[in-house]
Chain A
Amino acid sequence: MSEITKLSLTELVESIKNKKLSSSEVTKAFIERSEKSKVLNAFITKDFTSALDKAKKFDQKPDLNLKLPGIPMAVKDLFCTKNVKTTAGSKILNNFVPTYESTVTENIWSEGAILLGKLNCDEFAMGSSNETSFFGNVQNPIDKNLVPGGSSGGSASAVAGQLTPITIGTDTGGSIRQPASFTGTVGLKPTYGSCSRYGIVAFASSLDQAGPMAQNVKDCALLQEVISSFDVKDSTSIDFKRSHYSKDLTNNIKGKKIGIPKEYRVDGMPKEIEDLWQKGIEYVRDCGAEIINISLPHTSYALPTYYIVAPAEASSNLARYDGVKYGYRANGENLIDMYEKTRSEGFGAEVQRRIMIGTYVLSSGYYDAYYLKAQKVRRLIKNDFDEAYKKVDAILTPSTPSSAFKIGEKTNDPVSMYLNDIFTVPVNLAGLPGISIPAGHDAKGYPLGLQIIGKAFDEQNILNIAFAMEEKINFKNKITDWWIK
């Protein structure tokens, strides 16, 4: 097996810049490994031939001043890629070929990276296990028949399985951080407004954010530097001074105040998660940070709030899939019948369920009781964080209440599936940045993650804390390549 795919993004960039490796060699190595890794089902669309062409072109006239010179990279199939099929994991977009490029991917290609293909995800990013994808579930490289988490499951699997050196996902309620935690990788959900949402298939517009998923914190910082930009094409994009996340990365976190919220000690949390959290607290203390106990009193209301706000926004966003302008169409006796059949056949069960919840909470007579109520509670949740940040610089929590579970284990009980996101959802509701880093293993040897939540626009600070902790933790992912014969 090629040693090239074992290299981190930072190492690959260096090797290409030093001319030790060519873009073609690197691209070929990842393609070869991906071809042997079909069992993982990480890809929905492969763009390998075109990737090799682009790599060859790069090598003929390499621009080594770029941040991602000739680096091949696969991305979640929620990002529109010009002239390359974009499905959002749904049958309803099975044939959709965008005429435009998302701003985030545009930023990546303009720094020299090369598209390898589009990665599997839960349908319209609705799921926590990648089992709602029309293109089948994804295997976690950690163990056979284990979910990679979701919704960015294909992205997490592809990074952990070394099918791509790095990738991007999207996170509406934990869809970057939870799969990162399940696969022993690093995942950052940036502040709302940091990365443009232009060209990303919309799920819940007030919560959606794109972010990097990587093998380590430094790689993650480098990609964040590339993708974060102010964009006039996204009306919620924010024009703030972005730091040079990778250049400014430091493990010096002396004197930083780290909050430990007591409400995250939830009932029934496995002891190994509690122990991991304790270990994390010791690590940051070892780095010279100060630990402060804090309270986020409305934490337990975050998931119920999320399951009103997100489906409500989804039901509006997904109204556009009507079988007229693009995507799947079913035959109907008349226009309305065509709409109803198209949406019934084109959307999977979870997406239909969420559209219906959203439609209900927005419908006449229920709007105030549900949607307005949820927006008010969302304010209380945000206020909790605002209060906490008067005392601390960042907050440390577990990323998930458990390690990865088996395929099929939670598909019949939507609420138990939703509980996966209990520690990640409050961060989206408050629009804050959060990063998950691998911090240990459970008794079965499956990875467990810790989450660092920052103040709005303070990505640099949580990246620094993550970087300092990473050094102390010295995590090694246990990947046996079981899927490669």
Chain B
Amino acid sequence: MSIDLKTIKHISKLSRISVDEQRAKKLVGDLNSIFDFIEKLNELKTENVKPLTSIAETTLKLRSDEVQSKNIREQIIKNSPQDNEDYFVVPKVIE
């Protein structure tokens, strides 16, 4: 299987990472060499193998639903690139 320029542009869109033409071309080469390497897995027959989804097979514990971090809104807002003291501000979404 080989990844072409069109696929790179599609993945870039899904990843929300803009790439220019030059970088996209470089990524075609990089990703193809990585996927050539990954294709090795096809040597293995795995029809009857159960996928390993979690290494720590524990059940989730319940805890009481209590607020633990209080009054940190100001500090959190301070980390944002743009805010109006009460909210995060983003470019206009609805016309």
Q: Is the interface of A mostly helix, strand, loop or mixed?
A: helix
Closest Cβ neighbor of B78 among chain A residues = A97
Once the chains are docked, how many angstroms separate the CA of A382 from the CA of B3? 31
Taking a contact as CB atoms under 8 Å apart, the answer to whether B54 and A236 are in contact is yes
Taking a contact as CB atoms under 8 Å apart, the answer to whether B55 and A324 are in contact is no
Interface residue tally of chain B, by bracket? 35 or more
Question: Which chain A residues (227-260) contact chain B, with CB distance < 8 Å?
Answer: 232, 235-236, 238
The segment from A366-374, A389-397, A400-408 that touches chain B is A366-374
Residues of A contacting B40 in the complex (Cβ-Cβ under 8 angstroms): 300-301, 304
User: B18: which of A326, A341, A374, A375 is its contact (CB, 8 Å)?
Assistant: A341
Decide yes or no: A431 and B56 within 8 Å by CB, A232-B63, A376-B49 being known contacts.
Answer: yes
Taking a contact as CB atoms under 8 Å apart, the answer to whether B52 and A378 are in contact is yes
Once the chains are docked, how many angstroms separate the CA of A374 from the CA of B56? 17
User: A339: which of B16, B44, B63, B79 is its contact (CB, 8 Å)?
Assistant: B16
Residues of B contacting A315 in the complex (Cβ-Cβ under 8 angstroms): 15
Once the chains are docked, how many angstroms separate the CA of A99 from the CA of B80? 13
Decide yes or no: A304 and B41 within 8 Å by CB, A324-B88, A325-B88 being known contacts.
Answer: yes
Taking a contact as CB atoms under 8 Å apart, the answer to whether B81 and A327 are in contact is yes
Residues of B contacting A232 in the complex (Cβ-Cβ under 8 angstroms): 61, 63
Decide yes or no: A415 and B44 within 8 Å by CB, A95-B79, A353-B31 being known contacts.
Answer: no
Residues of B contacting A418 in the complex (Cβ-Cβ under 8 angstroms): 34, 37
Taking a contact as CB atoms under 8 Å apart, the answer to whether B27 and A414 are in contact is no
Once the chains are docked, how many angstroms separate the CA of A377 from the CA of B50? 9
Taking a contact as CB atoms under 8 Å apart, the answer to whether B50 and A99 are in contact is no
Taking a contact as CB atoms under 8 Å apart, the answer to whether A338 and B91 are in contact is yes
Cβ of A307 under 8 Å from chain B? yes
| Binary contact readout A322-333 vs B (1 if CB under 8 angstroms, 0 otherwise) | 111111110011
Task: Give 21 CB contacts A-B under 8 Å.
Answer: A96-B79, A97-B78, A232-B61, A298-B44, A301-B44, A303-B37, A322-B16, A324-B80, A334-B93, A341-B18, A343-B17, A344-B17, A356-B17, A356-B31, A370-B38, A373-B46, A375-B52, A376-B49, A376-B51, A377-B49, A380-B49
Apart from A206-B55, A301-B40, A431-B56, 19 more pairs, CB < 8 Å: A99-B69, A99-B72, A99-B75, A99-B79, A232-B61, A238-B56, A298-B44, A300-B40, A340-B18, A341-B18, A343-B17, A344-B17, A344-B19, A352-B15, A355-B17, A356-B8, A356-B17, A370-B38, A374-B41
- B-binding residues in A (CB < 8 A): 95-97, 99-100, 192-193, 206, 232, 235-236, 238, 298, 300-301, 303-305, 307-308, 315, 319, 322-329, 332-341, 343-344, 347, 352-353, 355-357, 359-360, 363, 370, 372-380, 382, 413-415, 418, 430-431
The 8 closest A-B pairs by CB, nearest first: A431-B55, A375-B51, A329-B81, A326-B79, A340-B18, A379-B52, A376-B46, A376-B49
